[in-house]
Amino acid sequence: MAKAFRYALKHSLPILISYIPVALAYGVLMQNCGYNFVWTGACSIFVLAGSLQYLMVTFFAGGVSLLTVAIMSLLLNSRHIFYGLSFIEKFRTFGPWKYFLIYSLTDENYSLHCSHHFESDVNEKWAYVLTAFLSISYWIILSIIGALIGSMLPFNTTGIDFALTALFIVILIEQMLGADNRLPAWLAFVSAIVCLLIFGPSNFILPSLVITVALLSILRHRIEPAKAVKEEKEMVLTTMQSIAIIAVCGICTLLERALPFLIFSGRAVPEPVRYLGRVLPMAIMATLVIYCLKGITFSSAAGFAPLLIASAVTAVLHLWKRSTLISIFCGTVCYMALVQLVFA
């Protein structure tokens, strides 16, 4: 297990880097809304979905029904339904640990699980479990720290959140370089960009994934032709109302992550579903790259240049050096320098 832990620690390090600004900022937001570190920790443990947890900050302001909370939670995390398709058969082999892996199947853990490359002496099950455990531990601990220290950070972290974008770019490149057919990635790129233009940054993920899955299914025989397989505020809501919101968000998120496993529990996975499990990782990573770049605007150079330049630096470095840490570190430093010094 020691070797599996060392592998998981190294493999999950980029996630730790990307979580530092995002999780700390979430903790600060919760504190500013009157929810202390206990509430922040509870949200991170029971919901475990960064984008939804940010949205929950607005729920805690009041005036939102539990039905609305449930619908918005299901829509925002709808992409999680597709994540499980890639690991239905793999997680079955891990015994009871499959339940933990389903619970922890976040965007970041999905990307890590799609990029595992094990040495012969590394136990596969424990590598999966420990990678997921470390990743969610980073998020939970950093969000709690953010709530404890507020905004009293001694350094400027503006731009460090690009590490998450860099991670997705690196993993996508690795998958494309190792794939026999790169059409799934290009289909996902086109689908994501078109849906982004039509539905806007807040609503494009679900229709993009639905269209991508449909296209991948239609083109199955072409893609795999030879394969058969600071102001203190008080809580606006009561304690029970806040608990109800956390419970609804947590249940909706877990339901979407578990749905593929529930549908195919105890029976053979049909070949079309297994096919989607093989080709979806690359397509979803391409979609997540576009998701990270959705904030680009062309009203000024500052709206697009830092993201595009840093993304290009990350991609070129990875094609050259094939080192995840070097690519993510250099791409992130480049982005931070651009947003703080050049396009400030």
Q: What is the pLDDT of residues 189-200, one digit of tens each?
A: 999 999 999 999
- Segment 263-298, tens digit of pLDDT: 887 777 788 888 887 888 788 888 888 988 988 999
| Helix segments in 219-270, DSSP class H | 220-223, 239-263
Residue type, 192: A
Task: Please give the pLDDT value at position 183.
Answer: 93
* Predicted TM-score (pTM) of this structure: 0.70
Separation between Cα atoms, residue 135 and residue 130, nearest integer Å: 8
Please report, to the nearest 10 degrees, the dihedral formed by the alpha carbons of residues 328, 295, 278, 329 taken in order. 0
Tell me what the mean pLDDT of segment 18-30 comes to: 83
Tracing tokens 């249940």 back to the chain, one arrives at: 251
DSSP state letter for 342: I
Among 85-99, 103-117, 319-333, the least confident range: 319-333
CB of 193 closer than 8 Å to CB of 290: yes
- What's the pLDDT score for residue 52? 87
Q: Does position 151 have pLDDT exceeding 70, yes or no? A: no
